[in-house]
Amino acid sequence: MMTSYTKPLPIINDDNRQYWEYCKQHELRMQQCNDCGYIRFPPGIICPRCHSMAAGWVKLSGRGKIYSFVVYRVSYHPSYADDIPYVVAVIQLAEGPRMESDVTGIKVEDLKVDMPVEVYFDDVTDEVSLPKFKAVS
Ligand SMILES: [Zn+2]
């Protein structure tokens, strides 16, 4: 199926395929080490803390807060030209990991570090649902 989505898409590989499959089901899941319990992101075959290769996929709450963010006022990719100004944020998830994403539904002037956010999923193509975040009170 042709898509009108023109922004860059994630490159899906053997390490992250399961992560994106869960996103498609609108579940934010990350790998949790079976040996030390550490929840890691991005996906990989080995625990960076204890080097165990045994892991499962734990469902996260989807809640977190803004750890840091930048506001882009110049489009460095033509597909973002209509979105300026837009945000790239580092989200501190409640369960520990940090991830980069959008924070939408709020004026960039109103964004603040430590602002609570919650995940939602944007079905940008038939194959890819992107985890994005919205501010919650
Ligand atoms: Zn571990």
Q: What is the mean pLDDT of residues 87-96?
A: 97
Determine the pLDDT at residue 2. Answer: 52
In three-state form (DSSP H/G/I as H, E/B as E, the rest C), the secondary structure along 47-84 is CCCCCCCCEEEEECCCEEEEEEEEEECCCCCHHHHHHC
In tens, the pLDDT along 27-70 reads: 999 999 999 999 999 999 999 999 999 999 999 999 999 999 99
Taking the C-alpha atoms of residue 131 and residue 107, their distance in angstroms, rounded to an integer, is: 19
Q: Give residue 105 CA to ligand 1 midpoint distance, Å.
A: 36
Task: Please tell me the pTM assigned to this model.
Answer: 0.92
Structure tokens at 75: 């489009």
C-alpha dist (Å) from residue 22 to 6, 68, 69, 79, 133: 23, 25, 25, 26, 16
Q: Give residue 92 CA to ligand 1 midpoint distance, Å.
A: 20
pLDDT at 1 over 70: no
Q: Give residue 22 CA to ligand 1 midpoint distance, Å.
A: 22
Domain assignments of the chain as residue spans, ordered by start: 12-59, 61-137
CATH 2.40.50 fits 61-137, yes or no: yes
